[in-house]
Structures are given as structure tokens and as C-alpha cells.
Amino acid sequence: MTTLHRDVTASGVRLRVTEDGEGEPVVLLHGLFVDHRTWDGVIEALAGEFRLVAPDLPGSGESEKPPPSRFPYGVDAFTETIADLFAGLALGRAALVGHGLGGAVALTLAARHPELVSRLALVDALCYPAAPDFTRRVAEFPVLGGFAFKQLWGRGLFRLTLREALLSRAAEVPSQRIDRYYDVFSEPAARGAALATLRATGDTRALVAQTSRVKAPTLVVWGRADRVYPAGFGQRLAREIRGAGFELLSTGHAPQEERPGDLARVLLRFLRDERPSTF
């Protein structure tokens, strides 16, 4: 099957959606500062057995980037947009894989709309409160923070931030790949959307409350060297979701960037219902 790119309107926002493969649907949700391309290696490995659906979230990639006055950029808003996307694509029930911010959206969707989610995989997901990193601390300054974030964050700082946040120190991800993310992020509307998302997702108490409501078979995958959310967060999440499995990979925060083949093998076992022992 040829990779398909199309625009779908969900919750009044135009989303760019990439599809590949055939079979049972699997929806892949990316994290902050990246887009659907973060799943390239995983899609390549899984497309032989599944229909992979990878949207760019509102404000990211090639999707529409409405102002915060029209789209609030919180987890609730992202969740309802993805629920609407399920309807727009007539997916019915699908497996759901989410990384970082996308993991928070996937978790919330599974808790609130269990009829849509057949299986749930959470990869280094936003869930528990963590010490704010430099980027979030800057974003939270009311005026000067927004100016610095929108006007002063250049390519070099973006590269450094993503390497420090997403990757382990041993990772070999080419700078050209990070530069492609920066080229999209550098648009003023994208910077504004990222800033609004950072400001709207600092309080995770509502996410923590969702964990007990998840009923779908769940796998939690975490990078052993995650410098954003420590591996202990993943262990806790696997304990708090009833029956969840847990896999620890030798990566940083973004296994799909650093070791996509390893992550794909773990996901493939889970999606085939070859589940590991529960945590």
C-alpha cells in the first residue's frame, strides 16, 4: 500500500493524517515539538500487518495551527479532537499508541471513550508531575517568557533542547532529522501553539485520576535513560493501570527516534496479543 497523506477536519481543526499499511487500525500520537514523522521507523516495521494512522496534532507538523483563543491546546482539547478524528475516518475501535504528550492524550481517550480503544500502548507518557525543564520554566514567564520562546529560540538551541530532552547521551540521531522538526516549529503559529501547549499541560492531576478508569489491555513502554520522565514514572503507571504490561528499553525519552526497531518489536508482540508479564 502506498503511503497516503490527507486532510481531515476534527473538532473544527484541519489535521494532516498519514496512513500506511492494511489490517486492524493502529493510531499513533506524537509528542510535543515533533510530528507524525517521529513514527517513521515504527510505521515501516508494522505496516505489513496493520493499518497505521498517524495524525499531526493541532499546532504541529502540517496540521492547522489555530490561535489559543480558538483551540485551548490542553489534553482535553486534543483528546476530543482525536475522538472526532476516529469518527471522521470511520475507524471504529482501534489500537492506540501515544508518546509523551500523545501518551497523555491516548490515556485520556482510553479512559473517557473506551468504546474507541481496543488496546493501549503508552510510550514515556506525560502523566505525573515532573520538575520543569528549562523550556517549560521559560514558557511559564507571563510576558518575557513568551517573547523569548517565540523570538529567541533558534535552530541551535532547538537542537540542543531536543537532544537533551528526547535522547540518551549515546543516541546517534542525525542533526538533519532534528532540523526538519525545527523547520516546522520555526513558523510563528507553530511556536505559539507549542507555547500554549506547554502552559496548558503543566498540571497533571487530571491525568493521574484517569489511570484507574482505563479498561483496555495496556502496555507501558519506557526509556531507561529518560531525562524528562524518569523510568520510575513508567513503573508507577504500569502498577496503576490494572493488568498493564511494562517494557523497559535502553533509550532516552523517545524510543521511536533512537531505537525504532526495538520499539516496533515490543509493539508488534503487544498488538498481536503476545503480552509480556504484567508489572
Q: How much is the mean pLDDT over the chain?
A: 92
What CA–CA distance (Å, rounded) separates 153 from 165?
15
| pTM (2 d.p.) | 0.94
Convert the pLDDT of each residue in 56-66 to its tens digit: 999 999 999 99
Helix axes 175-185, 155-166, angle to 10 degrees: 120
Residue 277 is predicted with a pLDDT of: 46
Residue 274 is predicted with a pLDDT of: 65
Burial of 269 (0-12, 13-18, 19+ CB in 10 A): middle
What CA–CA distance (Å, rounded) separates 80 from 248?
30
Chain centroid to CA 93: how far?
19
Strands (E) located in 49-178: 50-55, 94-99, 117-123
Convert the pLDDT of each residue in 222-275 to its tens digit: 999 999 999 999 999 999 999 999 999 999 999 999 999 999 999 999 999 865
Cell of 85: 478524528
Stretch (H or E) spanning 5: strand 4-10
Residue 231 is predicted with a pLDDT of: 96
As beta bridge partners, residue 223 has 249
Which residues lie below 8 Å from residue 189, measured CB to CB, with a gap of 6+? Answer: 59, 65, 67
Give CA separation, 216 vs 15, 103, 254, in Å: 26, 14, 23
* Distance between start and end Cα atoms, the chain: 37
Over residues 70-83, the mean pLDDT reads 97
Residue 106 is predicted with a pLDDT of: 98
User: What letter would DSSP give residue 196?
Assistant: H
Phi-psi region of 61 (alpha: psi -120 to 50; beta: other; left: phi over 0): left
Convert the pLDDT of each residue in 92-127 to its tens digit: 999 999 999 999 999 999 999 999 999 999 999 999
Burial of 88 (0-12, 13-18, 19+ CB in 10 A): middle
